[in-house]
Amino acid sequence: MNTEIENNINERIRLDLSYNNFQTIAKKQLPYKFSYLDEWLLKKSKLLNDEATVLEQKLQNPLETQTSLFRTYQRGTIVKVDFGIGIGSEMSQIHFAIVLNNYDNPRNNILTVIPLTSKPSKFNTYLGTLIIDMLIERIKNKFKPLKDKIDNGELLTAKESTKLNKLNTLLSYYKSNVKSTFACCSLITTISKERIFLPVNEYDIIGRVKCSNQIMNKLDEEIKNKFTLTFNSK
């Protein structure tokens, strides 16, 4: 049999087997990460298809295709990430995370992050509610001039009313997430920037606001304790 035909048949068989496996899992209607499997597979297939399209263009026109540029993030920035469906105890689903990279640049498409969770564990580092509280405080600062104007009996312009509605949407969203926060230092992982959610609207500060030095120092110490060997110098 022609090698190319045989490879195509084997490829089709592997894809069919993969589809059957995922369909079998979905039919079990299991809770937690498995209930999210179909949504994640669809999203992942779209992301991979976009990546494949760009690669195809580069292969066809290597001199014409420009290098993609990506948004940059500073160390300590809080981002919202879709970790997808992990194997075993790997991080799964959507969580906030903290960027660990010391340096980032527009040509870099990956980041190393510490996932955050509201679930306590002896393996996680307690951060209180400082992060979400900080997000809410930043939004309230943008909200205050509009509220003062209303309290003084002044009418808002159409633009100001739109801004107020968008800020209220953000406040409601982040207030619903005010829970004790734990950093999953044992689950540090490197992700594609494609996994990072865009801000809810132009007033959302997620992806721009950074943790305090106090929090970052606490995480640095925890990482050092978990992943490095320290020796007492004599």
pLDDT of 232 reads 56
* pTM of the full structure: 0.87
Residue 57, phi then psi, degrees to nearest 5:
-65, -40
Q: What are the tens digits of pLDDT across the range 32-85?
A: 899 999 999 999 999 999 999 988 988 888 777 667 889 999 999 999 999 999
pLDDT tens-place string over residues 197-223: 998 888 888 898 899 899 999 999 999
* Euclidean distance between CA atoms 189 and 48, whole angstroms: 19
- Beta bridge partners, 98, equal 78, 114
Beta carbons within 8 Å of 209's beta carbon, 6+ residues apart: 77, 78, 134, 135, 138
- The terminus-to-terminus CA distance of the chain in angstroms comes to 70
Q: What pLDDT, in 10s, does the model give residues 143-171?
A: 888 888 888 988 889 999 999 999 988 88
Closest by alpha carbon to 183, among 234, 229, 126, 137? 126
Residue extents of the structural domains in the chain? 3-60, 78-226
